[in-house]
């Protein structure tokens, strides 16, 4: 079987080998590791036709330079707005090309993005640890960091010329000027004006970063009381404020939450977060279901959360939520519980329109890859969720008349009627 041998000419800090990670070992004190940007990591492998989770090189803003000593291998770069120089040509990340013996490949930061991924049409030959090649940076176990002078071998290297070309960069991967936040229970430690400064003031990323988090530069957030609280799991992407008032965005520590909290608890947390999001992003006045669809799409499209279609059926009204960002946010492993986030959003919106406390929303279908509707016909459940491939389908059952609507906790057809 053919192989490609690569020499590392330069590797910046935090450049390492990562695969999908090693979840499930947190009870032994071993974090999952894995890619910082799981969506871009997955995109690089998909672009090459690799199996999910195949090891790749995670490249920080420090950059990477390689020389192909022997062999031929097709590669993909996905993530951020990095610059790729190869074979005398200069291109952006989100592309597939082929590296041949004697050629050099240099990847360096561009105008945006902190991480990018270099995947190969073959398997990186590196040491594993606990069934994974992901690098645990603090201990150095796993595939390891890359250093200048190191030699890499891609086993089973293949030329896949038919896959060369551009990779479509998802909208969710592009930079944004605003980041949505949900205030946590610790906001009680800060004065109202401090919280307002946090929500209104601009923040910039600094060069003080690693795979654990990144320090921000912006308005100071001095706590109003001593930060005396027990240690607890931290959600990926949380903003942590130290005693000096400096905010840090935490990244990979989200794996701690996934490994220590069971799926039912994660669903409960996601549902509550969805309710909070719905209260921040409220619907406008609605007289009909057509109004609900229009107002909901204004919010969803603005936030890049997909789209909503409402269809009236003989005995119910069907809410179809297409292109939800759940997989990009939480990865494939999060699909088992992350759907509860939009359960909370949709349920809170409907309650805001007058639905009573008896309104019940739950997922009843397979969260990944289902190709059919799977709806429970239980009268006590008015609103349900199922999955059709990547689309979320919400079903809102109406009574046969207004009296039934009221009995089930609905506002009646005068507020939400079919058109």
User: Is the CB of residue 364 less than 8 Å from the CB of residue 331?
Assistant: no
pLDDT at 136: 85
Condensed to tens digits (0 to 9), the pLDDT of residues 210-222 reads: 777 778 888 888 8
Residue 196, token pair as written in the block: 């307002």
Residue 398 maps to which CATH number?
3.30.1380
Nearest to 371 by CA among 388, 384, 351: 388
What percentage of residues in the chain have a pLDDT greater than 70? 73
**Range in 25-39, 237-251, 368-382 the model is least confident about:** 368-382
Name the one residue in this structure whose structure tokens are 């289902």.
370
Residue 239 lies in a domain: yes
Residue 414 lies in a domain: no
Does one domain contain both 17 and 160?
yes
What percentage of residues in the chain have a pLDDT greater than 90? 27
Residue 175 lies in a domain: no
Does one domain contain both 152 and 213?
no
Residue 388's Cβ-count burial label (10 Å; 0-12, 13-18, 19+) is: middle
Residue 403's domain comprises 262-407
Does one domain contain both 126 and 223?
no
Condensed to tens digits (0 to 9), the pLDDT of residues 61-115 reads: 889 999 999 999 999 999 999 999 998 889 999 999 999 999 999 999 998 888 9
Does one domain contain both 38 and 117?
yes
d(CA 388, CA 370): 5
Secondary structure class of 162 (helix, strand, coil): helix
Does one domain contain both 14 and 59?
yes
Residue 306 lies in a domain: yes
Does one domain contain both 7 and 148?
yes
Residue 73, token pair as written in the block: 């291998």
Residue 415 lies in a domain: no
- Higher per-residue confidence, 8 vs 334: 8
User: Where a domain ends, among 241, 256, 271?
Assistant: 256
pLDDT for residue 378 is more than 50: no
For the chain, helix (H) and strand (E) counts, in that order, are 8, 22
Residue 369 lies in a domain: yes
Does one domain contain both 22 and 61?
yes
Does one domain contain both 28 and 163?
yes
d(CA 208, CA 416): 52
Does one domain contain both 124 and 195?
no
Condensed to tens digits (0 to 9), the pLDDT of residues 353-366 reads: 776 555 555 554 44
Does one domain contain both 96 and 122?
yes
Does one domain contain both 10 and 150?
yes
The number of distinct structural domains making up the chain is: 3
**Range in 10-24, 80-94, 300-314 the model is least confident about:** 300-314
pLDDT for residue 277 is more than 80: yes
According to DSSP, residue 168 is labeled P
Residue 417 lies in a domain: no
Q: What are phi and psi of 296, to 5 degrees?
A: -65, -40
Residue 216 maps to which CATH number?
2.40.100.10
Does one domain contain both 105 and 76?
yes
pLDDT mean over 34-42: 90
Chain centroid to Cα 329, Å, comes to 2
Residue 45 lies in a domain: yes
Q: What are phi and psi of 389, to 5 degrees?
A: 50, -115
User: Where a domain ends, among 167, 198, 219?
Assistant: 167
pLDDT at 3: 93
User: Where a domain ends, among 195, 222, 256?
Assistant: 256
């Amino acid at each position: 079987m053919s192989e490609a041998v690569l020499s590392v000419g330069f590797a910046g800090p935090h450049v390492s080998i990562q695969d999908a990670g090693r979840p499930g070992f947190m009870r032994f004190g071993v974090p999952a590791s894995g890619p910082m940007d799981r969506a871009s990591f997955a995109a690089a492998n998909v672009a090459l036709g690799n199996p999910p989770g195949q090891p790749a090189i995670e490249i920080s803003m420090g950059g990477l330079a390689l020389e192909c000593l022997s062999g031929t291998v097709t590669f993909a770069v996905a993530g951020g707005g990095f610059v790729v120089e190869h074979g005398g040509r200069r291109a952006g990340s989100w592309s597939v090309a082929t590296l041949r013996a004697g050629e050099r490949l240099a990847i360096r930061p561009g105008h945006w993005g902190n991480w990018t991924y270099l995947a190969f049409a073959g398997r990186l030959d590196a040491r594993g640890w606990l069934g994974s090649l992901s690098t645990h940076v603090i201990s150095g176990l796993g595939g390891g960091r890359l250093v200048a002078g190191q030699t890499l071998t891609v086993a089973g290297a293949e030329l896949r010329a038919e896959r060369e070309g551009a990779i479509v960069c998802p909208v969710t991967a592009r930079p944004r000027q605003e980041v949505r936040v949900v205030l946590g229970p610790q906001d009680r430690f800060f004065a109202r004006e401090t919280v307002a400064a946090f929500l209104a003031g601009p923040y910039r990323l600094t060069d003080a970063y690693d795979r654990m988090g990144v320090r921000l530069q912006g308005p100071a957030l001095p706590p109003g009381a001593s930060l005396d609280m027990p240690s607890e799991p931290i959600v990926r992407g949380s903003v942590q404020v130290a005693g000096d008032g400096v905010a840090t965005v935490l990244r990979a520590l989200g794996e701690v939450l996934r490994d220590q909290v069971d799926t039912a608890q994660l669903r409960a947390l996601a549902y509550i977060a969805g309710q909070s999001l719905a209260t921040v992003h409220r619907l406008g006045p609605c007289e009909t279901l057509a109004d609900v669809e229009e107002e909901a799409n204004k919010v969803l499209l603005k936030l890049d959360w997909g789209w909503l279609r409402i269809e009236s059926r003989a005995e119910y009204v069907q809410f179809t939520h297409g292109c939800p960002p759940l997989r990009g946010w939480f990865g494939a492993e999060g699909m088992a519980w992350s759907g509860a986030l939009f359960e909370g959003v949709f349920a809170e919106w409907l309650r805001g329109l007058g639905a009573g406390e008896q309104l019940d929303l739950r997922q009843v279908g397979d969260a990944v890859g289902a190709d059919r509707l799977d709806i429970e016909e239980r009268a006590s459940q008015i609103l349900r969720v199922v999955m059709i491939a990547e689309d979320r389908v919400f079903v809102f059952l109406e009574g046969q008349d207004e009296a039934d609507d009221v009995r089930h906790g609905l506002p009646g057809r005068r507020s939400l009627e079919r058109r």
